[in-house]
Structures are given as C-alpha cells and as structure tokens.
C-alpha cells in the first residue's frame, strides 16, 4: 500500500478501481523515469522528482536541446534546507544562512515560504486523496476479489490436482533429546509434486514457533514440477518441555504444513520378554533371561518386585454404559515378598538407549 502511494500520481492505493479505463498505461499513472528523460520530453513531475534527488545540481542550458522544457527551480523551504545541509557537509567553513543561527523561526510555515508549484502540488494531492463512495466500494470489492483469487485450482490436460502441492523431506522436523541453552539447525527440502509450476509463501506462524524457532528462507519464486527448494529451521530451546507445533505454508493450490516435534530427554523403560514360562518338573532348575530396554536418553534405576496378584495395576473393566469422558482411576500396585523359589538380581541401573539382561533362576520346591 505504501509503495503504491509512493510511485503513483496522486498517491493512489489501487489504479482505476472502477475498471472504466480500457487500457491503463504505466507511464500515465506512475512517476517513474521513462525514456524521454534527458531528451527534452519528460513530464514536469518527473523533472521535479529527479531534481529533488540532487538539489544543488542545475541543468546547463548549453547542452539542452531547443525543444527541452525549462526546469523551474524548486525554491521550497525543504529544498533550500537540503541545499544548505549538503553545502555545509562539503565545506563546513561556508555559512549559507544569512540570518543569525539564534534568530527565532516561525512555528508554522506560511505561504511566503512556499512557491506556487509546491502549493499547486499540495492542492492536487489533497484533491486526489478524496474518492467517491462508488470508488471506495469498488476498491473494497477489488480487495475482496484479490483475497478470493489467492488459491486457485490447478487443472492440466483436464485433470485437477488435489492434495498438498509440496512434499517435505524429512516429513517432520523432529528434535529429540534436546537440551536447554543449545542451538539445533535442520534443513528442510520442499519438492513441488503438483502438475505444473507452483510457488508458496510462509504464513503467520504460531506464537510458540516464533518464540523458539528461526526460519531462514529466501523466496524461490515459481518452481516447475519436480523441482525442490530448501529452508533452514533453527531451534533454540529456552524451557525443558515437549513442543508440538507446525510450520504453515500457502501454495497457489492451497495451504499445507510441516509438523514440528521436540522431545526432552526421558527414561522409557520396557521389557522385551513380558512373559517367562518355565517348563520344568520338581527336582530341576532352569534360568531364563528377562530383557529390559531403555528407549530414552536418561539413565534409570530399576527395582524388581513381586506383585501380590496378576491383576495388580490393571485398569478396571470397561463399562459400556459409562461416560467416555469420565476419568479412569487405576488402583495402586501392591507388592509381596519374593517367592523363595525364584532367584534374580533385584535392582540395578541402566544407561540411555541400552538393553540389560536379568537372569531369573527358578527351582521348584515341591512337586505341585
């Protein structure tokens, strides 16, 4: 919006919002320097624009063509101020201000401090900023149409593409076993899997993504089918807690996202032999292994106890008539003294991501 106001004549946000003009030529609605500049055919507003960039430079009439328009010097207060500042920078000893520096200056500029051209320009801008109700309505409808046309179906040879237009590799950005205070970086590769050219942009991201992540991405423009681009994702954790979020994108064919999962260090203890069966008789003994597995990064200390019954610690049976939102209370586990027929190591410590085998020896003390 600010760019359109800057480069258009009259500071307009939308050029011809009513659509009445059949053809809109850029040279008639913008203040860009065209090919006529320097050949004597440039418009007055372009000449004043170029002259404002170099306030101390004046054209040499000896090199101007006969058909060139005379450039009216800009004698506004702002132009004179810029001239004095530039001259003072080039030669500090030069004093271009004939008045005393301590002299009082008017609080508000009067008409005597402006030339006729500046007054006319100000009137023209004030008149151009006023639009009719019809133009305001048409402008609002144009903005609405622009938003609706952001996402469009992609049809190639009569077949419409559906689904995410870009596939990310890896499929999700995962940071496992992170530590607070460290920095972790990952490169994500996004490949265009649609039927033809497509592009995407980053949408407004969730607050948790803005707080802990930095996305380094240079827009690559339109990508043909099968072409990939990359972006760098940097994670700087500040709290020791799990994070589940996503990076949101918008392609020409619709929105898509890449999940982001961050996991703290944990101790996840399980057994690979949930059931041990001794097929022996009285008078024999047999040793079988109990394999423990720690799937987490933290070391864990374990203890082996014998439960009072096989149903200890199990949830109660499900009542089909119960409310599914009701909280299920699991009873506490009760332990008893270890059976003297069983011999094993009762406690130990495991490191992260490792397995440990506990030998359990069973010797029946009676035939039954």
What digits encode the pLDDT tens for the residues 198-211? 999 999 899 999 99
Q: Over range 16-28, report the average pLDDT.
A: 70
Q: Are 17 and 135 in contact (CB under 8 A)?
A: yes
Q: What is the DSSP string of 89-116?
A: HH-TT-----S-TTS---SS--GGGS-H
So what's the pLDDT on residue 180? 93
Q: Over range 343-353, report the average pLDDT.
A: 88
So what's the pLDDT on residue 307? 78
Q: Is the pLDDT of residue 67 over 90?
A: no
Q: Considering all CA atoms of the chain, what is the largest pairwise distance in Å, rounded to the nearest integer?
A: 127
Rg (CA), the chain: 39
So what's the pLDDT on residue 98? 47
Q: Which is more confident, 363 or 110?
A: 363
Q: Over range 27-37, report the average pLDDT.
A: 76
Q: Is the pLDDT of residue 282 over 80?
A: yes
Q: Over range 131-160, report the average pLDDT.
A: 84
**How confident is residue 364, by pLDDT bands cut at 50, 70 and 90?**
confident
Least confident of 158-162, 293-297, 344-348: 344-348
**How confident is residue 102, by pLDDT bands cut at 50, 70 and 90?**
very low
Report d(CA 361, CA 339) in Å as an integer.
11
- Indicate the pTM of the whole model: 0.53
Q: What is the DSSP string of 164-190?
A: -SEEEESSSEEEEEE-TT--EEEEEEE
Q: Are 175 and 241 in contact (CB under 8 A)?
A: no
Q: Is the pLDDT of residue 129 over 90?
A: no
């Amino acid at each position: 919006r600010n760019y359109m106001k800057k480069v258009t004549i009259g500071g307009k946000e939308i050029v011809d919002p009513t659509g009445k003009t059949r053809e809109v030529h850029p040279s008639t609605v913008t203040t860009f320097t065209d090919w006529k500049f320097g050949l004597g055919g440039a418009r007055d507003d372009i000449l004043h624009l170029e002259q404002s960039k170099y306030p101390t430079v004046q054209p040499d009439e000896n090199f101007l063509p006969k058909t060139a328009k005379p450039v009216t010097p800009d004698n506004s207060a702002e132009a004179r101020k810029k001239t004095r500042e530039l001259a003072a920078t080039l030669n500090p000893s030069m004093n271009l201000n004939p008045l005393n520096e301590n002299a009082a200056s008017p609080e508000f500029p009067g008409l005597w401090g402006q030339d006729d051209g500046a007054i006319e320009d100000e009137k023209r801008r004030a008149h151009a900023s006023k639009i009719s109700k019809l133009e305001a309505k048409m402008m609002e409808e144009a903005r609405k149409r622009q938003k609706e046309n952001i996402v469009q179906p992609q049809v190639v040879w009569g077949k419409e593409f559906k689904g995410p237009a870009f596939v990310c590799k890896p499929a999700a950005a995962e940071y496992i076993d992170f530590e607070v205070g460290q920095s972790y970086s990952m490169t994500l590769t996004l490949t265009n899997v649609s039927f033809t050219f497509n592009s995407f942009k980053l949408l407004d991201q969730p607050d948790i993504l803005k707080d802990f992540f930095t996305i380094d991405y240079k827009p690559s423009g339109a990508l043909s089918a099968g072409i990939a681009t990359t972006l760098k994702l940097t994670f700087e954790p500040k709290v020791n807690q799990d994070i589940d979020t996503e990076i949101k994108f918008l392609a020409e064919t619709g929105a898509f996202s890449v999940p982001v999962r961050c996991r703290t260090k944990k101790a996840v203890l399980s057994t690979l032999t949930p059931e041990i069966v001794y097929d022996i008789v009285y008078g024999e003994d047999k040793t079988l292994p109990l394999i423990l597995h720690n799937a987490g990064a933290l070391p864990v200390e374990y203890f082996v106890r014998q439960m009072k019954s096989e149903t200890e610690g199990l949830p109660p049976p499900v009542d089909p008539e119960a409310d599914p939102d009701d909280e299920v209370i699991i009873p506490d586990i009760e332990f008893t003294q270890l059976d003297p027929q069983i011999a094993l190591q009762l406690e130990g410590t495991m490191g992260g991501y490792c397995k440990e085998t506990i030998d359990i020896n069973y010797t029946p003390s009676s035939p039954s």
